[in-house]
């Protein structure tokens, strides 16, 4: 029996976070009424800077806003079901890997239809929403991964953090830290999307491509991670670490390095660590492309062209350079707009390394992967787990992962 496209894509979208075209329910009139905005920010209540920007954008468009916030995975599920039931929101803020899934299922309207202008957005960030030449939505901002380092641990081991420029120099630094009796590096290699997310800078930094999980470059990346466990540079706990528990290990002050994201900056300050941040190095030097995190502001298909136009105005307001600075500060994001990035660095110089990391970051669904990404990511994290636990050698683990990804429909 042929399944409804939204039903078929439900499991794909769930995997990506961690639909026949449908329209939202009865549309408000363009000249007033209440428009719904759904976002994945339940941590921000009505008094937050983010909520105030949302309300302001509604007022500017001449409507009231009914905002609902869900956690990321719950939001994806609710959007898929709402689209199937013709009750989708007027404006949707959704995790970037899910955009292509929603777009391919006909849930979202393209920027060409809604009037959303993404001209000022960095192209590498916009690529996550490019589906067959059409762009759906505008990023509200971005986060990504880098290496936090503990200055005291490195100083005690005689390591200059500026010397870490490639895998060989990182290995040399870890060897010194280990010889000095300190702990090396912690990261998340858990068997979920978080594990794939954290492995991707090393995978891409080796020169590997997600269309070939078993390439020699891919094997080199996984062999690098496995060597850190074998040498005692990384703890065995990485196999079960989320990004949160990995951070908690680093926050003890015992580790030299931790792979983590911009969202930990406030925690780093609260922990009282004397820390710095380095780009994740590519195998032969330079910054490795890390995956982008962050959401896109999108407009679901609606029953009224006037409602879509008004929703487009709200979405344009939320992503305009005039407003996005306040939103990105509230969300601890690097802006997707280069001119706003410059203002962020001027106000907070410590963001410079993060801005540089975002400039070379990649969308997980980029390279025209779209809805294929979840069917690649899950075998990838499974292969990483198999290698790190010693169940399989890195080359065998990735060969199996590639076979699974290639057979997925």
Alpha-carbon span 41 to 306, nearest angstrom: 27
Q: What are the φ and ψ backbone dihedral angles of 304, each rounded to 5 degrees?
A: -125, 125
Angle, helices 216-230/167-179, rounded to nearest 10 degrees: 10
Cα 238 from chain centroid (whole Å): 20
Q: Are residues 117 and 209 both part of a single domain?
A: no
Q: Are residues 246 and 381 both part of a single domain?
A: yes
The 10s digit of each residue's pLDDT in 253-265 is 999 999 999 989 8
3-state secondary structure 95-147: EHHHHHHHHHCCCECCHHHHCCCCCCCCHHHHHHHEECCEECCEECCEECEEE
Host domain of residue 384: 145-290+369-407
Give the residue from 324, 339, 359 where a domain finishes.
359
Q: Are residues 324 and 346 both part of a single domain?
A: yes
pLDDT, position 5: 37
Q: Residue range 386-400: average pLDDT?
A: 98
CATH number at residue 194: 3.40.190.10
pLDDT for residue 405 is more than 70: yes
Looking at residue 281, the DSSP 8-state letter turns out to be B
Alpha-carbon span 245 to 318, nearest angstrom: 33
The 10s digit of each residue's pLDDT in 88-139 is 999 999 999 999 989 988 999 999 999 999 999 999 999 999 998 999 999 9
* Residue 253 maps to a domain: yes
* Residue 364 maps to a domain: no
pLDDT for residue 301 is more than 70: yes
Q: How many domains does the chain have?
A: 2
Q: Are residues 226 and 265 both part of a single domain?
A: yes
Q: Are residues 302 and 349 both part of a single domain?
A: yes
pLDDT for residue 155 is more than 80: yes
Q: Are residues 183 and 221 both part of a single domain?
A: yes
Q: Are residues 268 and 388 both part of a single domain?
A: yes
Q: Are residues 322 and 207 both part of a single domain?
A: no
Q: Are residues 155 and 211 both part of a single domain?
A: yes
């Amino acid at each position: 029996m042929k399944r409804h496209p939204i039903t078929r894509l439900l499991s794909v979208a769930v995997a990506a976070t961690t639909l026949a075209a449908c329209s939202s329910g009865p549309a408000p009139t363009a000249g007033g009424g209440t428009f719904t905005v759904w976002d994945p920010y339940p941590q921000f209540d009505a008094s937050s800077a983010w909520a105030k920007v949302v309300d302001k954008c509604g007022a500017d468009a001449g409507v009231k806003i009914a905002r609902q916030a869900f956690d990321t995975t719950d939001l994806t599920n609710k959007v898929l079901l709402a689209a199937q039931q013709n009750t989708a929101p007027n404006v949707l803020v959704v995790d970037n890997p899910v955009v292509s899934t929603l777009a391919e299922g006909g849930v979202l309207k393209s920027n060409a239809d809604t009037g959303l202008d993404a001209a000022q957005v960095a192209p590498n960030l916009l690529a996550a929403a490019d589906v067959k030449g059409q762009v759906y939505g505008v990023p509200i901002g971005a986060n990504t991964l880098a290496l936090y380092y503990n200055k005291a641990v490195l100083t005690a081991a005689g390591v200059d953090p500026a010397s870490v420029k490639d895998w060989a120099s990182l290995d040399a630094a870890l060897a010194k830290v280990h010889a000095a009796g300190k702990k090396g590096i912690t990261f998340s290699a858990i068997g979920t999307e978080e594990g794939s997310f954290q492995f991707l800078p090393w995978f891409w930094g080796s020169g590997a491509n997600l269309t070939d999980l078993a390439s020699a470059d891919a094997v080199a990346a996984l062999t690098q991670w496995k060597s850190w466990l074998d040498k005692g540079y990384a703890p065995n706990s990485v196999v079960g670490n989320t990004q949160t528990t990995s951070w908690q290990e680093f926050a003890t002050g015992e580790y030299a390095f931790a792979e983590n994201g911009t969202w930990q900056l406030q925690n780093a300050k609260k922990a009282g660590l004397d820390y710095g941040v380095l780009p994740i190095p590519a195998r032969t030097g330079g910054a490795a492309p890390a995956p982008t995190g962050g959401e896109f502001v999108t407009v679901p298909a609606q029953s009224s062209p006037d409602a879509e136009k008004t929703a487009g105005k709200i979405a344009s307001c939320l992503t305009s350079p005039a407003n996005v600075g306040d939103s990105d500060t509230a969300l601890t994001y690097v802006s997707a707009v280069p001119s706003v990035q410059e203002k962020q660095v001027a106000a907070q110089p410590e963001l410079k390394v993060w801005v540089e990391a975002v400039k070379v970051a990649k969308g997980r669904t980029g390279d025209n992967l779209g809805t294929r990404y979840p069917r690649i990511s899950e075998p990838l994290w499974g292969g990483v787990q198999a290698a790190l636990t010693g169940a399989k050698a890195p080359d065998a683990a990735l060969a199996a992962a590639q076979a699974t990804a290639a057979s997925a429909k």
